[in-house]
Chains A and B, each alone.
Chain A
Amino acid sequence: DAGITQSPRHKVTETGTPVTLRCHQTENHRYMYWYRQDPGHGLRLIHYSYGVKDTDKGEVSDGYSVSRSKTEDFLLTLESATSSQTSVYFCAIRTSGSGGSGANVLTFGAGSRLTVL
């Protein structure tokens, strides 16, 4: 079982406050991802990382930043939370498939439910 934990699992905050979600892995995987899940939209990619200090934007990156200073940790920050960022956030790691195989299997964390009032 891939060791991937997210924290906090639940958070309620107010509009305008900063929020940081943490994703921690124990297996030294290179690729890590942050998705958000909303009704009617499925999962949408926010940011991803392909190594320490190597990150790139996904399709819904506005209002979010990420950092990866260590292989095992991938942080998602909302600099100034808004109600539209109320969502369930999932971290994922790429756990199999070499560069050319195309079999990009992702393993997901349990999710972090964020409510912005």
Chain B
Amino acid sequence: GDSVTQMEGPVTLSEEAFLTINCTYTATGYPSLFWYVQYPGEGLQLLLKATKADDKGSNKGFEATYRKETTSFHLEKGSVQVSDSAVYFCALSPPGGGGGNKLTFGTGTQLKVEL
């Protein structure tokens, strides 16, 4: 079945450092890929998405590129801020929305940004 693998956390960075959170997936065909973010005490929010190979999703300074050849969707940000501290989830949904349009999530990566 479909699966998503994320790097273990927590990831601790200093403010203005470069961020990479790795995400790889296993799925048939061309799934849609997502990054969600969860701030303390809140539900998940969509951060960015990509629906086909070589697409780049971007939002709030975060970027991720859909790499079919490496089945990856790594999240990057050039300069993190304390306010970026949160848990980040990589997720996929089947091509064409099949299977009830369900999302499969990775285990999440906690990011802590310090001054």
| B-binding residues in A (CB < 8 A) | 31, 33, 35, 40-45, 48, 50, 56, 58, 90, 92, 94, 97-111
Size bin of chain B's contact surface: 20 to 34
**How many A-B Cβ pairs are below 8 Å?**
72
Q: Which A residues touch B45, using CB under 8 A?
A: 108
A44–B89 CA distance with the chains assembled, in angstroms = 12
Q: Which residue of A lies closest to B95 (CB)?
A: A102
Chain A: minimal CB distance from B112 (Å) = 16
A41–B89 CA distance with the chains assembled, in angstroms = 11
Which of B42, B100, B101, B105 touches A97 (beta carbons < 8 Å)?
B101
A43-B44, A50-B101 given; name 14 further pairs at CB < 8 Å: A31-B100, A45-B102, A45-B103, A50-B100, A94-B101, A98-B97, A103-B32, A103-B51, A104-B32, A104-B93, A104-B101, A104-B103, A107-B46, A108-B43
